[in-house]
Amino acid sequence: MAIHVLDEANHCLNCKNPQCQKGCPISTPIPKVIRLLLDGKLDEAGWMLFENNPLTTVCSLVCNHENQCEGHCVLGKKGAPVHFSVIENYISTTYSSKMVKGPAPSNGMRAAIIGSGPAGLTIAVILARKGYQVTIFEGKEKIGGILRYGIPEFRLPKSVLDDFEYRHLILKDIKVRPNTMIGADISIDDLMRDGYKAIFVGTGVWKPNALHIKGETLGHVHFGINYLNSPDSYHLGERVIVIGAGNAAMDVARTAIRHGVRYLQCFSRSEGVAASKHEFDYAVLEGVEFFYCKAPVEITDEGVIFADVIEHEDGSVEQIPDTEKLYPADSVIVSISQGPMNRLVKNTEGLQADKRGLLVTDEKGRTTKPGIFASGDVVNGARTVVEAVAHSKEVAEAMDEYMQSLPKDA
């Protein structure tokens, strides 16, 4: 492993104008990190990675590298790019075991984090570094949000999240209240009453989008985000149809195959897939069969009736008459993205959402209610992990600025 990493690092041209760094949504200083590694300064390289991206161990595994850092590497134009994902994973996981520093000196101010997905974890770590007493309120049993309950183990081992919790939360005295839904028993107003100077909302998008076609409520029909949450709870049978072709659909399909499904068919409305080439290639390799330009018309006990469609240049699709055909399946999984739950908005006066239920904020994450900030999927819709981290870094600075501007006796 180490030799392979060093081979990759030695390929780096150390460009003066690094396109790889420009291609990274969080502007990871890639050439500097690689140079530190080659100079034998692994700890310095690791520190640099974590300072820039608290979720570097996660991003090294789940980022869409082919379109970001590696996709922008100049070496990739005529051959193979430098595979920085391998380098980042080696450095970050090796350095992580050395991260034993305790909490920063307290500044006496409390901050609340609602949701422990990528956005919430990023905000929590940055505010803790600045001395804030941080409490995370998580609706599920364990931290991680979509990282734990929406990304399969084979792509992101749970041990990575467990290590993050120990290194970055427990050692830094960040409190976590699991199984706690804000907006139900506890309100945002309750948090403000108890002295939290700023509150961050990073509740993600957990409400599956539905097809709204006949048969969607039948017992053998499931939603992708629910399936990924606990795949062991499902008995799908031998033949499964997945409706959708994004990265989440690839996760669903590949997880189902690992749980005994023998025939997995994935249907896309368009002429291609929305998933990354990397995820698509692995799905094909593992036996997933793809169908294109197919729109679901009805779900029956026997399977799904699809019709052929024509995709227009503007992205719209037109159904072709008399092309309906039944594709048999024991189970059907609908995986066409998700939207936000709206409990928090309904129960919080002054907190505004748009027509899709996404929280309304400015570019710094400030919501329509003073002292309440938000970022991640609950603001932007389903996006990548690194995009959530990048935006949340800016929001954390805005939260710090806001809290420092408050009267000291507030």
pLDDT in tens, the chain (410 residues): 566 899 999 999 999 899 999 999 999 999 999 999 999 999 999 999 999 999 999 999 999 898 999 999 999 988 899 999 999 999 999 999 999 999 999 999 999 999 999 999 999 999 999 999 999 999 999 999 999 999 999 999 999 999 999 999 999 999 999 999 998 789 999 999 999 999 999 998 888 999 999 999 999 999 999 999 999 999 999 999 999 999 999 999 999 999 999 999 999 999 999 999 999 999 999 999 999 999 999 999 999 999 999 988 887 889 999 999 999 999 999 999 888 877 787 778 888 888 888 899 999 999 999 999 999 989 988 889 999 999 999 999 999 999 999 997 65
3-state secondary structure 63-129: CCHHHCHHHHCHHHHCCCCCCHHHHHHHHHHHHHCCCCCCCCCCCCCEEEEECCCHHHHHHHHHHHH
Reduced DSSP (H G I as helix, E B as strand, rest coil) percent helix, strand, coil of the chain, to 5 = 40, 20, 45
How far, in Å, CA of 259 to CA of 227, rounded? Answer: 12
pLDDT score recorded for residue 113: 98
pLDDT score recorded for residue 401: 97
In this structure, are residues 290 and 306 in contact, taking their beta carbons and an 8 Å threshold? no
pLDDT score recorded for residue 3: 66
pLDDT score recorded for residue 408: 79
Q: Return the SS3 of 325.
A: strand
Pairing of strands 303-311, 325-328: antiparallel
pLDDT digits (tens, 9 = 90+) for 112-134: 999 999 999 999 999 999 999 99
Counting other chains too, the contacts that 77-85 makes at CB distance below 8 Å and 24 or more residues apart are 81/20, 82/8, 82/9, 82/11, 82/12, 82/20, 82/34, 83/8, 84/8, 84/20, 84/28, 84/30, 84/34, 85/60, 85/61
Neighbouring residues of 104: CB distance < 8 A, sequence distance ≥ 6: 128, 129, 130, 131, 172
Task: Name the strands in the sheet holding 239-243, side by side, starting at the edge strand that comes first in the sequence.
Answer: 221-223, 331-334, 239-243, 263-267, 289-291
